[in-house]
Amino acid sequence: MLLKLYSDNPNHREFQQIVSVLKDGGIIIYPTDTVYAIGCDINNNKAIQKIAMLKGIQADKANFSLICNNLSSLAEYAKVDNPTFKMMKKNLPGAFTFILPASSNVPKLFKSKKKTVGIRVPNHFIPLRIVEELGNPILTTSIHDPDEVIEYTTDPELIQEKYKKVVDLVIDGGYGNNTASTIIDCTNGSFEIIRPGIGELSL
């Protein structure tokens, strides 16, 4: 199903519909401030496993990230020291994925021994509102193959055509970008850009 959400103030009912799909273990594709992403409710292990299968990887080894809707909700999933928190506050919401030491909740989510977690607070009203209405973060991974950055899909109607048999809902928020988020590793006491992307970091 394709759901169009173009206005900055879409209908509350439409978000309830999205949340209902997620709570039922559904998989959605949605716009972000970078590329379109695929995601699910982080509390639904079957949905996480399904996304891992779609990406051709094992869930316990996957580098999936979480979308939070604000900085205060991070503490449940990541350990953030003061310098990192200040830097993130300057840059979020924005086109960044921050790799942080994982809290004890993360291994439970992914049935793994993960020591780190990627966190995103995108500058886009659709994923932020989904997380707010759902009441917890959603898993996020871009819909492309990591080695084919040029092959990002930006047209939601083409995305729907390609993924309609494997996902439950595609949210059309207009054309997406074709550049990924900037990934910053914050686990070693410094802020190391490990993949340049659309976000320009302010220190």
Q: Cα 144 vs. chain centroid, distance in angstroms?
A: 13
DSSP letters spanning 84-127: HHHHHHHH-SSSEEEEEEB-THHHHHHTS---EEEEE--S-HHH
Domain range spanning residue 173? 2-195
> What confidence score (pLDDT) does residue 144 get?
67
Contact 156, 172 (CB under 8 A): yes
Residue 12 domain-assigned? yes
Distance, C-alpha 149 to centroid of its chain: 17
Residue 185 falls inside a structural domain:
yes
- Check residue 153 and give its pLDDT: 79
In a domain, 22, yes or no: yes
Give the model's confidence band at 59: pLDDT under 50 very low, under 70 low, under 90 confident, else very high. Answer: confident
Q: Is 203 within a domain? A: no
Using CA atoms, how far apart are residues 105 and 150, in angstroms rounded to an integer?
34
| Model confidence band, residue 57 (pLDDT cutoffs 50, 70, 90) | confident
Q: For position 113, what pLDDT does the model report?
A: 81
pLDDT tens sequence across 67-121: 999 998 888 899 999 999 999 999 999 999 999 999 988 888 887 888 999 999 9
Q: Is residue 201 part of a domain?
A: no
- Residue-wise pLDDT for 140-196, tens only, equals 998 865 555 455 678 899 899 999 999 999 999 999 888 889 999 999 989 999 999
* pLDDT at site 145: 55
CA distances to 13, 68, 104, 136, 171 from 109, in Å: 28, 15, 10, 12, 25
* Residue 200: inside a domain: no
Give the Cα separation of 140 and 118 in Å (integer): 9
Task: Please give the pLDDT value at position 55.
Answer: 87
Q: Identify whether the C-beta of residue 38 lies closer than 8 Å to the C-beta of residue 49.
A: no
- Count of structural domains within the chain: 1
We report the CATH number of the domain holding residue 57 as: 3.90.870.10
pLDDT > 90 fraction of the chain, expressed in percent and rounded: 69
Task: Tell whether 76 is covered by a domain.
Answer: yes
Indicate whether 43 belongs to any domain: yes
Give the whole-angstrom CA distance, residue 60 versus residue 80. Answer: 23
